[in-house]
Structure formats: structure tokens, C-alpha cells
Amino acid sequence: MINGTTRERGGAMQTQDNYWKRKTTFYKFGLLVTFVGLFLSPDAQALMTGNCADCHTMHNSQDGQPMNFDSSAIPNDNLTRGSCLGCHAQAGSSAIEIIGTSRLPQVYHTGGTDLAAGNFAYITGFKGGGASDRKGHNIGPLTGTDAVLYAPPGGIGQAFHDNGYIVNTDNLTCAGTNGCHGYRFAGDASKEGIRGAHHKNLDGKMDIADEPANSYRFLFGVMGYENVDWEENASASVHNEYLALTAPVALGCSGGSVLSCHSATNGIEPPDGTMSQYCASCHGNFHTLETSTSDGIGAVAASPFIRHPTDLALPSSGEYAAYTNYDVGSPIGRTTGVPDASSAVVTPGSDAVMCLSCHVSHASDYPSMLRWDYSTMIADGGVGGTGCFVCHTTKD
């Protein structure tokens, strides 16, 4: 700009007023194109948004101080300001941390409300009624390793699957081969397993699940409907939705009628995309129908069971028929496909019991990651409408 004028490429001069009019027009056009793009693309708003600096640091240094969330001077891979735990286990007082323009769901905090997966803080006693390894999955760097268990309880009865040879409570991590989130390829560490998923992240209805970014909560191969605030403000009508089967199947590595959790190209994934099958990749004997190597829940998908079934539709008669209003403390799975939105209606005969009907996935304040205190579930005890009695409505 020279004395109130500006010089464009090619040497032509224009007044300052004309220059800013053109700039304003260009800016408005850009906003219009952006708005139209968001309107036309239903997935666009679900992608990672916000300032790059919320999550990344170029040199881990600002005014001579580290930029990592934990103030560590050691840089992280991919220029991030924290690892999985550094971003999502900040030990604050809120279930969701606000960093600049970004919202980070927390799995280790003292806030009054936990998100859908629970809170690892119950394991250490940082929150709740006292420390106990029984309260959740132990992630060594966060909670310490499990002092009692080594192999995953309920491992499928096959070589290397029920003895902790592959995944155990000493090497369990957030993602990768020995974790839950992202790809679970042999040899993939946590950061490789989850790489790229955040920037490609979708939310809402997740019914493709052919990569971590479009799988439910980055659990590769799992389908479901993601509540936008991770159930921080859940209600009967606003919550996550889970995919389920009307009847459980025989699970294993391969062979005959047994469905395998091993993919030819993508590592480990549930063969039908359900949450219960995903849990079964480590705890298979708690889920499978009887096979030649595992007794599972029994030989057939009908009572009497020798273990509580999952991926099984609630009967439409008897005590189960009374569970018709969704209870976020005892969620069910949908067997008719992933819904477009959450619903307050439960349909016995179609909707199914699953792992998360009774358990949370990270940790709770009760043994075995249960959603309630099992010791208070007393038949004819008058508890009514909670815990086991949400489904078993005549036994309280």
C-alpha cells in the first residue's frame, strides 16, 4: 500500500476503498462456499475441527516452556501435545476438557458425571469408594498393572487365547495390537493403531466400520450410533446406540460353523460388527456358543444357559416384556441395524441384551466394571427398576 493505494500484480493501482471492497466480497464468497459445503456434506461437521494448536505443537516449546498437556519436555510422535493418556486422562475435575476450541473426552477425572465408557480413576481410588483392580481394565502407565489377573478372564479356549500369551494385563494399552481402539494388527503399537483416525473421524450413525475413523468410537469393525457428547448428558431419549444380534453365534479363529474374529487384511474385528463380539475377541468364552474347545454359554441359544448370554434378543413375553422404556443404566442393542438417531423405546423380541447392558468398558466404582452394586441385587428385595431388575422385572 502506497499513500492510501495498493499495487496489484501487474502494476495496476487501486484505491484503498476498492481494495477492501474486493477483499470483503471474496471473504463473503468464501463463507458462502464453506456453508454450502457443510450443508451438502452430512459428514463434514463430524470431522476434526478447531485450531491445530489445540492438539499439536511444532517444537514443544513456547516462551521457553513445554507445550505438552503434562508439561513434559519430551516431544511426542506426530507433533501432538500428548499421548492417548496425555490428551484423554488429564486428571482434572471435568468429564470433558475444553482446550482452545476443542473438546477432549476424559477417561480419568474426578468430575461428578462419567462418560459412557466409565472412569479409570475408580481403579486407583482417585475417585470413588476406594482403589481396586477389580473395578476395571488396567492400563499400566495410568492405573498400574493388575495384581491378580494376568490373562483376560473368559478367554476363548484356543492356543494362545486363554493364557495371556498375546494380550494380558501387563501389556494392555489404549490402541493397537494390545489395545481396543484403532487397528489391532500384530506388531502395531498404540500410536500406529489409531493413526489418522482423529482427522477422519465421523460421528452419529456408524454403519460402515471398514476403518477406525468410521467405526464406533474408533473400535475397528464395531457399528453403532455415537452420542455427540459421549453421554455426558444422557437420558432415555439421548444416548449411544449399539448393534446386536438376535442370537449369539459360535466364535473362534476359524473352521466349520465357527465365525472368526481374524480379518485377512485388517487384524482383529467382530465378524458381525456388534459390541459383544468385539468384547469376545478377548473374553470369547463368555460369549460364544459351545465349540470343540470352549463350553461358552451353552450348546444352544436357549435357556438354561451356563453363562449369561449376550447378543440375544429379550423375549417378548414374561418378565422381559415389561422393559419398554430405555434405561441408560441398562442399555440394550438394536438387532434391526444401526438407527439414524437414539430412541427411548425398547422392543422386547427385537432389542437384545449385550455386554454393555451390565458392564462399562473402562472402569466403574463396582467390581467387574458393573454398572451397579451386584451385592444389592436381592430377589424380592424391593429394589425395583434398577440393575438386574430392569430386565428381570418380576424378581425384585
| 289 contacts 280 by C-beta, under 8 angstroms | no
Cα 344 to chain centroid distance, Å, stands at 21
The amino acid occupying position 376 is T
Cα separation of 25 and 326, whole Å? 51
User: Residue 181 phi/psi, 5° resolution?
Assistant: -90, 150
CA 229 to each of CA 108, 119, 329: distance values in angstroms, whole numbers, following the listed order: 16, 15, 17
Q: How many CA atoms lie within 13 A of 272 on its CB side?
A: 24
Task: Enter the C-alpha cell of residue 149.
Answer: 489377573
Closest CA to 277 of 309, 304, 307: 309
| 120 contacts 91 by C-beta, under 8 angstroms | no
Q: Which residue has the cell 475377541?
A: 281
Cα separation of 226 and 341, whole Å? 9
Cα separation of 254 and 135, whole Å? 33
Domain boundaries, the chain: 54-87
- Please give the pLDDT value at position 38: 35
Peptide bond preceding 304 in cis form (omega within 30 of 0) = yes
The whole-number mean pLDDT for each consecutive block of 10 residues of the chain, a chain of 396 residues, reads 40 42 41 35 52 92 91 90 94 96 96 98 98 97 96 87 88 92 77 85 94 96 97 98 97 81 85 96 93 93 95 97 98 98 98 98 98 94 87 93
- Please give the pLDDT value at position 189: 65
- Please give the pLDDT value at position 27: 38
- Please give the pLDDT value at position 49: 76
Residues facing residue 97 across a β-bridge: 104
- Please give the pLDDT value at position 45: 39
Task: Enter the C-alpha cell of residue 73.
Answer: 519436555
